[in-house]
Chain A
Amino acid sequence: MNTAQSINSRLDALLGKSIFNQNNYRIISTGKPEDNAVNLLGEIDETILARRLDFKTGSGARLRLDVVARRVLRIASIDAPETRVSASTLIEKSLSESEHLAEFSQLVLDFTESADEISVVSSALDYVSGSNLVGLPVSRIFKQILVEYDKTVSAMSNGNPAHNILTQAKVTDWLILQGEDAGNSSGETDIVTGLQQLADNDISSIESYLDRIVSTPGDTVCAVIGNMAGNGKSVLCLRVGGQLAFALVPADSLQSVVHAWAKETGQS
């Protein structure tokens, strides 16, 4: 096989693995948030010549980056109205490691964390002169993101996620049944006793129930079950970080439960 054949063979192989969505963007990630971030950074890492990378999520959010030599020179634009990313102060600034690394890394995390798909299309970049451009090296961004992940994992593993969620949410009656802080409770004695009786009834059926309502048995999950209209009340059952907990949730506290759960489990 000569050089040309070798190159063509390689290009064919690469082309064969590419999947494009209906907008003709190449899909680079359909996985979990950490995969999304890594795959987005991978695109930057593979960009040597000056290009504008237009990243798009499945929900339509867009992040356009000017990239050269594995460095992000600047953010050309952001169109992600439902995320914190849209409020970034970095747009159209010349990025540098000393000033913008942490903020840009967080922006990447915010953009990718809730995306169920990320796709990209690249185009030529015409303004790069090369002499006065610094940019953010992708290796430094990757390292910074690892630091951020370590913080999250540390908070989950060293802390007491169930306790944090239950105290952050507007929930007054709760009981931690298993794991760290098992037996800890708050609220009216009668209700806490009722929660304990629920667990005593058949804890294995509750574990089985939680396994049936997630994609993979054993997954972290929080279920609020009952009636959330008007003055309705519901039972909360959560499993996180080896802990199992119950709580009684007033209808008007549901949003606070979602917020607390998302914050503690890194969903927001």
Chain B
Amino acid sequence: MNISDHLEAINTENSAVQIVAFADLSVQLVLADSKKKEIGQEHLDTLCAQVTDAFDCPLHTGNLSLVEPPTEVVIMRDDGVLISLRPTHNSSNALYLLCDYNVDIDNAMAMARSALAETGAV
């Protein structure tokens, strides 16, 4: 399966997932996506920029951090749950999902991790 197949599978299996996309955060570019309805590129790009910012968290800088640098960020906000994952904390490749609040988050994230691993994204 290529990355597009994985995105499609995540979208199909999870009814609460509205958008799933694969992006290069270093240039904030969405490389592939799967959506339940027509969504403009501008919206995808905005989400990509917010995902990039989400990994740049001040809580994980310096010696005070309680946990490792983030590979996963889940943001609960007005438009739903924005889930972001990357293979390692310094990787520029990332998957993000915008979901409704009734999402089975453990299942959605497990599928996303699997997609990143199986496609060899680093």
Residues of B within 8 A of A257 (CB): 76
CB <8 Å contact, B57 and A209: yes
- Interface positions of B from 71 to 116, Cβ below 8 Å from A: 71-82, 100-106, 109, 113
* Residues of chain B at interface, number, CB under 8 A: 42
A194/B54 contact (C-beta < 8 A), A215-B78, A258-B103, A268-B101 known: no
Contact B66 A82 (CB under 8 A): no
Q: Is A6's CB within 8 Å of the partner chain B? A: no
B82: chain A residues at CB < 8 Å are: 213
B53 & A213 in contact (Cβ 8 Å cutoff): yes
Does any Cβ of B come within 8 Å of A233's Cβ? yes
Q: Which residues of B contact A197 (CB under 8 A)?
A: 64
**Which parts of B35-90 form the interface with A (CB within 8 Å)?**
36-38, 50, 53-54, 56-60, 62, 64-68, 70-82
Compute how far the CA of A255 lies from the CA of B76 in the bound complex, rounded to whole angstroms: 11
- B67 adjacent to A235 (CB under 8 Å): yes
B28 contacts chain A at the CB level, 8 A cutoff: no
In the bound complex, do residue B76 and residue A234 qualify as a contact, i.e. CB atoms below 8 Å apart? no
Residues B74 and A223 in contact, CB atoms below 8 Å apart: yes
Contact of B58 among A117, A191, A202, A226 (CB under 8 A): A202
A227 touches B68 (CB 8 A): yes
Residues A255 and B62 in contact, CB atoms below 8 Å apart: no
Residue of A nearest to B54 (CB): A213
Which residues of the partner chain A approach B102 to less than 8 Å between Cβ atoms? 82-83, 114, 268
Task: Evaluate whether A234 and B70 lie within 8 angstroms (CB atoms) in the complex, with A22-B38, A221-B75, A221-B76 already known.
Answer: yes
In the complex, which residues of chain B have a beta carbon less than 8 angstroms from the beta carbon of A83?
Answer: 102
Does A225 contact B78, Cβ atoms closer than 8 Å? no
The answer to whether A224 has its CB under 8 Å from any CB of chain B is yes
Instruction: Specify which chain A residues have a CB less than 8 angstroms from the CB of B76 in the assembled complex.
Output: 221-223, 257-258, 261-262, 265, 267
* A215 vs B46: C-alpha distance when bound (angstroms): 9
List, in ascending order, chain B residues with CB within 8 A of A268's CB.
Answer: 101-102
Taking the complex as formed, is A44 at the interface, i.e. its CB lies under 8 A from any CB of chain B? no
- Which residues between 180 and 196 of chain A lie within 8 Å of chain B, taking CB atoms? 191, 194-195
Report which B residues bind A (CB closer than 8 A).
Answer: 15-16, 18, 36-38, 50, 53-54, 56-60, 62, 64-68, 70-82, 100-106, 109, 113
19 A–B contacts, CB within 8 A, in A order: A22-B38, A59-B36, A83-B102, A114-B100, A201-B64, A209-B58, A214-B75, A214-B78, A215-B77, A221-B76, A224-B74, A225-B67, A226-B68, A228-B72, A235-B66, A254-B74, A255-B104, A255-B105, A262-B76
